[in-house]
């Protein structure tokens, strides 16, 4: 009996933002294991290089490119380089996001509001526009937006962040509808509480963690690797008829 090739990414070019650690790193490593050449990206090249070195040491293909997704000129420059070096892109994983202020909504700073919107909405949007143009020229591709359960049910003291994640879920449907004609699919991953630096204020606080676990049927937080399989599904030919969906990977939290 032959094994399925549905999850094979040989010859594919994949870009993962925020891939120097956490969920993005786990995604980058799994896509590389499945054969993709992965562009490992974050604001700092030195953060990405160890991930690239690890992938290459395991026999995979990877390149580090620094890109602050809150800076428009860095997005433009990054995609000009991808066009020149790789000619096309098959998979974009918008994963890097920010949550600079943890506070009651009435105490929101304008600067924190602006930064959150610039990175989490404008960044995801124009990364998708740039990748979408390259995908359109090459017959298609798959865009995966890492949103959050907070996009459906806002997290306490995470108001602006939660609003941006709701926008990402809607953005996913916009790209799915308007880019299907170009062979481009667009789907969202909604992670639940996952043990990363990003969530350390929640996972590292015993009282907050205890309350959070009461709402999670599986009674534990996720490991970053537990997000990667869902992204592989959405990136690969296993999901060729799936577009515009939000896939909850949350231990049952939203059920």
Residues 92-121 that bind ligand NAP (CB under 6 A): 95-98, 119
Among 28, 30, 37, 47, contact with ligand NAP (rule: CB under 6 A): 47
Residue 69 or 186 with smaller CB distance to ligand NAP:
69
> Does 191 interact with ligand NAP (rule: CB under 6 A)?
yes
Rg (CA), the chain: 17
C-alpha dist (Å) from residue 252 to 149, 191, 206, 217: 11, 11, 21, 5
Residue 18 or 251 with smaller CB distance to ligand NAP:
18
Beta strands in the chain (DSSP E): 13-17, 37-42, 61-66, 91-94, 141-146, 184-191, 246-249
Residue 193 or 245 with smaller CB distance to ligand NAP:
193
> Does 154 interact with ligand NAP (rule: CB under 6 A)?
no
Binding-site size, ligand NAP (CB under 6 A): 29
HSE-CB for 143 with a 13 A CA cutoff: 35
Residue 139 or 219 with smaller CB distance to ligand NAP:
219
Contacts of 183 (CB under 8 A, 6+ apart): 135, 136, 139, 140, 141
Residue 8 or 215 with smaller CB distance to ligand NAP:
215
Contact window for ligand NAP (CB under 6 A) among 29-37, 67-75, 208-216, 238-246? 67-75
> Does 44 interact with ligand NAP (rule: CB under 6 A)?
yes
> Does 169 interact with ligand NAP (rule: CB under 6 A)?
no
In whole angstroms, give the CA distance from residue 137 to residue 47: 31
Q: How many CB atoms lie within 10 A of CB 208?
A: 14
- Find, among 193, 126, 117, the residue nearest to 153 by Cα: 193
Instruction: Give yes or no for a contact between 38 and 115, defined as CB atoms under 8 angstroms apart.
Output: no
> Does 155 interact with ligand NAP (rule: CB under 6 A)?
no
> Does 61 interact with ligand NAP (rule: CB under 6 A)?
no
> Does 24 interact with ligand NAP (rule: CB under 6 A)?
yes
**Full strand arrangement of the beta sheet holding 184-191:** 61-66, 37-42, 13-17, 91-94, 141-146, 184-191, 246-249
Active site residue 124: no
What residues line the site for ligand NAP (CB under 6 A)?
A: 17-24, 42-44, 47, 68-70, 95-98, 119, 146, 148, 191, 193-194, 196-199
Catalytic (active-site) positions: 161
């Amino acid at each position: 009996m032959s094994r399925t090739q549905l999850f094979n990414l040989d010859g594919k070019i994949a870009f993962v933002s925020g891939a120097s650690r956490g969920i993005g790193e786990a995604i980058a490593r799994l896509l590389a294991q499945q054969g993709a050449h992965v562009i490992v990206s974050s604001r700092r090249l030195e953060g990405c290089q160890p991930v690239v070195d690890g992938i290459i040491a395991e026999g995979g293909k990877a390149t580090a490119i620094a890109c602050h997704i809150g800076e428009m000129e860095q997005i433009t420059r990054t995609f000009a380089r991808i066009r020149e070096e790789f000619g096309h892109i098959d998979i974009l994983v918008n994963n890097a996001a920010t949550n600079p202020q943890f506070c009651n909504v009435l105490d929101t700073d304008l600067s924190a509001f602006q930064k959150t919107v610039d990175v989490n909405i404008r960044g995801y949007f124009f990364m998708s526009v740039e990748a979408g143009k390259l995908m359109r020229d090459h017959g298609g591709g798959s865009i995966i937006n890492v949103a959050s359960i907070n996009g459906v049910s806002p997290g306490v003291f995470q108001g602006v962040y939660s609003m941006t994640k709701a926008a990402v879920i809607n953005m996913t449907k916009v790209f799915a509808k308007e880019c299907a004609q170009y062979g481009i699919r667009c789907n969202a991953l909604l992670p639940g509480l996952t043990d990363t630096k990003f969530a350390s204020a929640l996972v590292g606080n015993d009282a907050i963690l205890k309350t959070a676990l009461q709402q999670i049927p599986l009674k534990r937080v996720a490991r970053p690797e537990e997000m990667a399989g869902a992204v592989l599904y959405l990136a690969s030919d296993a999901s060729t008829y799936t577009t515009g969906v939000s896939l909850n990977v949350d231990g049952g939290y939203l059920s």
